[in-house]
């Protein structure tokens, strides 16, 4: 049997000769990153070959150097991954969602608390939303209650600033999707997909029900009616459409979104012609003609 040359991180091995890869840790990492190893005919290295090569003195030295190289490569890949614009946008949307959850949780508890302090008549108890209880208590609240109101105000200010940044970021990173469904919804879809790259690979049917996981799996498992929309429901064209046409609007919108996501990922600029036709299609679906 003929042996082909095998390329390893420390050098190239041909039968029992080894050509050492030169350079420091960074150079070794660069070299491996550039290798494209085919698995057919690949023979795994033996660490003794690295000693033969002169790269490492012994087993401990071998592992130590190997760890340096793989760690450096991993750190580089992590930096590259987090350097993408969509990674930052995704963190902002998720923070926005957490802020909303936190604010409503606090407001709700505040309402209960205030109810005990000021037990009003029955109709008033049912009527005002927790937020309104908070507004009502402003001015008369003191001590810890006043501090809670201040922190809810703080959350609201943070939210306003964040919405601004998310919308701006979405316009930049998802220009076509933003034009179709607005920055917030576009950014939420991106967050659910995980990355712009992943979003661009999603079929329209997945985009349509992104964010409706529970309903989707209930459908798959028990055969309950499939969800018509997930995050997309938040877009006004979908939730303002007549009930019997929401599914159609969501489906049409998702089909155009799938194209928009690909434009955003691979071209990165608005396509006015596409947006015009997409807008017409969604309108038509809403009218039901």
Partner 1 sequence: MIWLDGVLVSPGSRSLHGERILRGHRVWDPYRSKLAALAHLGHEVDLPSSLRVLYLGAAHGTTVSHIADYVECVYAVEIAPRPMQDLLSLARQRENIVPVMGDATRPGEYAPFLERVDLIYQDVASPRQAEIAAAHRVFLEEGGTLILMVKTRSIDATADPDAVTRQVTGALASCYRVKAVVPLEPYHRDHRALVCEGVK
Binding interface with partner 1 (CB under 8 A): 7-9, 32, 35-39, 42-47, 63-64, 66-67, 69-71, 73-75, 77-78, 81-82, 217, 220-221
Pick the closer one to partner 1 by CB: 62 or 110. 62
DSSP sequence for 129-143 = -HHHHHHHHTTT--T
Rounded to the nearest whole angstrom, what is the least distance from the CB of residue 289 to partner 1 in the complex?
37
Rounded to whole angstroms, the Cα distance separating 148 from 154 reads: 10
CB of 23 to partner 1, least distance (A): 15
Nearer to partner 1 by Cβ, of 19 and 151: the residue is: 19
CB of 251 to partner 1, least distance (A): 22
Contact 202, 181 (CB under 8 A): no
Neighbours of 277 (CB within 10 A): 13
Nearer to partner 1, 68 or 145 (CB): 68
Minimum CB separation of residue 221 from partner 1 in Å reads 6
- Please, which residue, 157 or 214, has the CB nearer to partner 1? 214
Q: Give least dist CB 273 to partner 1, A.
A: 37
Paired residues of 12 in beta bridges = 7, 19
Is the Cβ of residue 179 or residue 209 nearer to partner 1 in the bound state? 209
Half-sphere exposure of 35 (CA within 13 A, CB side): 18
Q: What are phi and psi of 36, to 5 degrees?
A: -120, 105
Chain centroid to Cα 24, Å, comes to: 36
């Amino acid at each position: 049997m003929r042996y082909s040359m095998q390329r390893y991180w420390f050098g190239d091995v041909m039968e029992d000769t080894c050509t050492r890869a030169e350079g420091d840790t960074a150079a070794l990492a660069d070299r491996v990153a550039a290798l494209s190893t085919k698995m057919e005919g690949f023979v795994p290295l033996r660490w003794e070959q690295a000693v033969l090569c002169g790269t490492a003195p012994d087993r401990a030295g071998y592992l130590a150097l190997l760890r340096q190289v793989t760690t450096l490569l991993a750190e580089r890949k992590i930096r590259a991954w987090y350097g993408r614009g969509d990674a930052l946008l995704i963190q902002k949307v998720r923070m926005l969602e957490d802020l909303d959850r936190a604010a409503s949780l606090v407001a709700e508890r505040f309402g209960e608390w205030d109810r005990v302090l000021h037990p009003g008549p029955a109709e008033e108890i049912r009527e005002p939303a927790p937020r309104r209880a908070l507004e009502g208590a402003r001015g008369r609240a003191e001590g810890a209650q006043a501090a809670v109101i201040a922190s809810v105000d703080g959350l609201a200010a943070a939210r306003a600033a964040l919405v601004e940044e998310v919308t701006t970021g979405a316009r930049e990173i998802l220009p076509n999707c933003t034009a179709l469904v607005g920055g917030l919804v576009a950014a939420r879809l991106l967050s659910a997909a995980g990355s712009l790259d992943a979003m661009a690979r999603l079929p329209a049917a997945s985009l349509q029900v992104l964010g409706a996981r529970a309903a989707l799996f209930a459908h798959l498992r028990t055969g309950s009616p499939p969800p018509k929309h997930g995050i997309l429901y938040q877009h006004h064209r979908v939730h303002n459409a007549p009930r019997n046409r929401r599914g159609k609007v969501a489906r049409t919108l998702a089909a155009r979104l799938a194209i928009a996501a690909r434009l955003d990922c691979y071209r990165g600029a608005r396509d006015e012609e596409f947006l015009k036709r997409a807008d017409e299609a969604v309108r038509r679906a809403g009218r039901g003609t």
